[in-house]
């Protein structure tokens, strides 16, 4: 991999660019926000503007519902030999790209499971993806060369490729990322307009629980709407447990203790499943 074009120079796009630059890959940066692209370039992420010919790989680092139209536009220009994305929703972009007549054989969906509540190129890091899983959602129309190119990208970024279907990915991310973000935002919203005396009593618990609520609201609206059905289903399960907890507080039933016990077990399982650095 010698030449890559990255469309979108926010946190994810710039982080990918910085990781690739460490391996001597020539990176071209495109963004409708010229200031963001220039900032990424100043950070050493690449050069602003398209290459003179087709890039080995075009990476779409744009919101999920923008992936398909941007893919169509880039393919119409013959911008690359292979195309991928880093969006956190996989079903919507693939279906939409097909409807727009994109060449799906050379488009391989991807999603690095890494990020930050911060946004923009200044929040980027060339080590953001190190030792992190990077989901690869190959579909039956993909050719082997395209899959190999995206797998090479993942390894150059220091991540671990994980194969999943689009449906399995979107179902999993609804429960592990999208609903947690929404719940965190709802909890943080209860503090909007709170007086200073109350805010002064906020400790680490609510600070930790609302950390991800700082994420870009426009981007997260796009993500949640692009995965609406899976998010709604997962959110309904959370709502059912909240209703059960509310009822248990009134009736004094053992359901409250059981919910807290399940929380203990889930937290323990999460920590046990996380790989240790370097393993």
Are residues 79 and 145 both part of a single domain? yes
Are residues 140 and 250 both part of a single domain? no
Residue position matching structure tokens 């998010």:
231
Cβ 134 vs Cβ 112: under 8 Å: yes
Are residues 227 and 209 both part of a single domain? yes
Residue that is last in its domain, among 164, 184, 219: 164
How high is the pLDDT of residue 115?
87
Tell whether 65 is covered by a domain. yes
Are residues 51 and 87 both part of a single domain? yes
CA dihedral angle for residue 207, residue 209, residue 210, residue 216, rounded to 10 degrees:
130
Element (H, E) at 187: helix 179-189
By mean pLDDT, which of 105-109, 114-118, 140-144, 162-166 is the weakest?
A: 114-118
The phi-psi region of residue 256 (left if phi > 0; otherwise alpha if psi is between -120 and 50; otherwise beta) is: alpha
Element (H, E) at 162: strand 160-163
How high is the pLDDT of residue 276?
66
Q: What is d(CA 270, CA 253) in angstroms, rounded to the nearest whole number?
A: 27
Are residues 68 and 183 both part of a single domain? no
Tell whether 67 is covered by a domain. yes
Tell whether 24 is covered by a domain. yes
Q: Which domain holds residue 207?
A: 169-273
Tell whether 71 is covered by a domain. yes
Are residues 159 and 173 both part of a single domain? no
Q: What is d(CA 13, CA 211) in angstroms, rounded to the nearest whole number?
A: 22
Are residues 101 and 137 both part of a single domain? yes
Mean pLDDT of 158-178: 97
Are residues 155 and 194 both part of a single domain? no
| CATH number for 121 | 3.40.50.720
Q: Write the pLDDT tens digit of every residue in 103-138.
A: 999 999 999 999 888 889 999 999 999 999 999 999
Are residues 207 and 251 both part of a single domain? yes
Q: Write the pLDDT tens digit of every residue in 174-196.
A: 999 999 999 999 999 999 999 99
Half-sphere exposure of 102 (CA within 13 A, CB side): 28
Q: Among residues of the chain, what percentage have pLDDT more than 90?
A: 95
Mean of the per-residue pLDDT values for the chain?
Answer: 95
Tell which residue, 135, 13, 119, has the closest CA to residue 67. 13
Report helix, strand or coil for 23.
coil
Tell whether 153 is covered by a domain. yes
Are residues 92 and 200 both part of a single domain? no
Residue that is last in its domain, among 164, 189, 207: 164
Q: Write the pLDDT tens digit of every residue in 85-97.
A: 999 999 999 999 9
Tell whether 279 is covered by a domain. no
Tell whether 147 is covered by a domain. yes
Structural domain count of the chain: 2
Are residues 44 and 151 both part of a single domain? yes
Neighbour order of strands in the sheet with 26-30: 47-48, 26-30, 3-7, 57-60, 83-85, 107-112, 133-137, 160-163
Are residues 173 and 251 both part of a single domain? yes
| CATH number for 235 | 1.10.3660.10
Residue that is last in its domain, among 164, 195, 218: 164
Tell whether 278 is covered by a domain. no
């Amino acid at each position: 991999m010698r030449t890559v074009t990255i469309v979108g120079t926010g946190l994810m796009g710039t982080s990918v660019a910085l990781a690739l630059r460490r391996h001597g890959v020539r990176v071209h940066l495109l963004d409708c926000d010229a200031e963001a692209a220039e900032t990424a370039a100043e950070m050493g992420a690449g050069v602003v503007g398209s290459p003179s010919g087709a890039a080995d790989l075009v990476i779409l680092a744009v919101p999920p519902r923008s992936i398909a139209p941007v893919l169509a536009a880039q393919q119409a220009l013959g911008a690359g030999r292979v195309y991928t994305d880093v969006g956190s929703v996989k079903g919507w972009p693939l279906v939409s790209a097909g409807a727009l007549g994109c060449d799906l054989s050379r488009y391989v969906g991807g999603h690095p499971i890494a990020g930050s509540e911060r946004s923009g190129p200044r929040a980027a890091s060339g080590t953001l993806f190190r030792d992190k899983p990077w989901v690869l959602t190959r579909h039956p129309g993909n050719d082997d060369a395209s899959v190999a190119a995206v797998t090479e990208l993942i390894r150059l970024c220091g991540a671990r490729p994980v194969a999943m279907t689009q449906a399995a990915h979107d179902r999993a991310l609804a429960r592990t990322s999208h609903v947690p973000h929404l719940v965190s935002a709802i909890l943080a919203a209860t503090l909007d307009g709170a007086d200073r005396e109350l805010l002064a009593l906020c400790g680490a618990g609510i600070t930790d629980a609302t950390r991800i609520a700082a994420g870009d609201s426009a981007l997260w609206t796009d993500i949640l709407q692009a995965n609406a059905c899976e998010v709604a289903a997962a959110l309904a399960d959370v709502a059912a447990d909240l209703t059960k907890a509310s009822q248990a507080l009134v009736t004094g039933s053992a359901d409250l203790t059981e919910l807290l016990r399940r929380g203990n077990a889930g937290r323990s399982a999460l920590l046990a499943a996380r790989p240790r650095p370097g393993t």
